[in-house]
Structure 1
Amino acid sequence: MVYILLGEGFEEAEAIVPGDLLRRAGLEVAYVGLEGPAVTGSHGITVTADLTLEQVDAQKMEMLVLPGGLGGVASIQMDLFATALIQKAYAQGCWLGAICAAPSILANLGMLDRRRAACHPCVWDEMGSTAVDREAQVVVDGRIVTAQAAGAAYPFGLKLVEVLKGPEEAQKIADAILYRG
C-alpha cells in the first residue's frame, strides 16, 4: 500500500500526479487526510481523501509519499501522528517519497543526514547535513526518493513507480501518457 499524506495547503500537482501514475502501475494508493477527508490544497482545489490518518494500517505500508506546498508541509510537521507515521515508515524500511518543501520534513527528522536529496530552493537552508543536489529533478538515496518541485511531479511519480515495480513498468507508464522527459 502506498499512502500519500495530505495536509491543508498541499501542492496539488505534487500529490495528484504521482498518485495517478502509481495507480496506473496497478499499485494500491490511498490519499490520507490529516484533518479529515476534505483537504484543500495551496491553490484552492479541495480533494476528498480515501482515509483519515487514524485509518492508516502501517503494517501494509510499502511507501509513504509527502507532497510539498508550504501549508501542507507545516500541517504534517505540526501533526504528531503524521510525524510518528513517517518515523515508523523509516524504521520499517518502507520507501519514502518527498517533493518540493517536503524533503525538509525528512531532514528535520534526521533521515537525510549525509544523504543526497533534491528539494525546492526555498528549503535549501533547512536541509542540515543533507547533500542537496541543486540541479537534479529527482534523487534516490537508499530507500528515499526526493524531488525539486511541481515541475518534477511526472519524473518523481515515474521514479516512485520504478522503485516499486521496476524500470520496465515505469517506461510502460511513461509511454502510455506520452511523457517525453
Structure 2
Amino acid sequence: MPDIKQSKILILATDGFEESELFVPLEKLRAAGATVHVAAPEKTREPGSILAWDGQKQPEDWGRKVPVDRRLDEARADDYDAIVLPGGVLNPDQLRVDPAVIGLVRDFAAKGKVVASICHGPWILVEAGLAKGRKMTSFASIKTDVQNAGANWLDQEVVTDQGIVTSRSPKDLDAFVSKIIEEVREGNHGARRAA
C-alpha cells in the first residue's frame, strides 16, 4: 500500500478552471504529504500560469491564478501516481479537444494510475473513451453526455470504478479528495483501456 506522502500527483487544467476544484485538491493533497504539480498546455492567457473563472463573476472577470509547474508536453504518466482533472465549463471544454490531453489521460488509465475528475471534467474522460461500461458521476448538466458515452451515471458525491474517481460539484470536494487519497494508497488498479 503506497504512502500518500511518497506519491506524486498531476493536476491538469487550463484557463477557465473552477477555482475551488483546483485549489482545494492542490492544497489538501499537499497537506496530506503528496507532491503535486500543475500542468497546462503551452498557450495560456498569462505565460507560466493559468487563471480560474469564478461562475459568480462576469466572464471577463478572471479569478485566482496558479503557477504552472509543467507544460503539457513535459507531463508523463510514468512520473505520477494520479491525475486530477478539475471542472468548470471553459477548462474541460478546451482540454477535451486537445489530442495531447486525451493521450495523456488514456496513458494514465492504461497504466492503472488513478484518474480523478470533477464537475464538467468527466467530458475529458468521455472524449478519452473511458466512460463506457463504468459507474460515473458528473455535474448534472452533462449527465446525458456521460450516459450517451456508455457510463452508468449515479447521483452520488463521489463514484469510483477501478481507480477512476468522479464527483459532481464543489460541494463534493471533501469526499473527492479523500477518495483520491484512498485510491492512491490502494496502488495500481491494472490496465484500463479506452473503449
What TM-score results when the alignment is normalised by the length of structure 1? Answer: 0.85
SS across alignment from 1:10: coil
Amino acid at match of 2:154: D
Cross-structure match for 1:38: 49
SS across alignment from 1:164: helix
Query: What per-residue deviation string (whole Å, max 9, x for no partner) do you get for residues 121-146 of structure 1?
Result: 11011112111112x10011111000
Residue pair 1:7, 1:33 contacting (<8 A) in 2 also: yes
Cross-structure match for 2:126: 107
Cross-structure match for 2:14: 7
Amino acid at match of 1:10: F
- Cα offset for 1:165? 3.2
Cross-structure match for 1:133: 154
Q: Distance in 2 between matches of 1:41 and 1:124?
A: 23
Aligned-CA RMSD value: 1.4
What TM-score results when the alignment is normalised by the length of structure 2? Answer: 0.80
Residue pair 1:21, 1:161 contacting (<8 A) in 2 also: no
Seq. identity, %: 26
Amino acid at match of 1:83: I
Q: Distance in 1 between matches of 2:110 and 2:65?
A: 32
- Cα offset for 1:96? 0.2
Unaligned 5+ runs, structure 2:
1-7, 55-61, 187-195
Unaligned 5+ runs, structure 1:
167-181
Q: Distance in 2 between matches of 1:37 and 1:26?
A: 24
- Cα offset for 1:57? 3.1
Which structure carries more helix by proportion? 1
Cross-structure match for 1:59: 78
Amino acid at match of 1:30: H
1:155 aligns with 2:175: yes
Equivalent pairs, count: 165
Amino acid at match of 1:116: K
Cross-structure match for 2:104: 85
- Cα offset for 1:9? 0.7
- Cα offset for 1:7? 1.2
SS across alignment from 1:78: coil
Residue pair 2:76, 2:104 contacting (<8 A) in 1 also: no
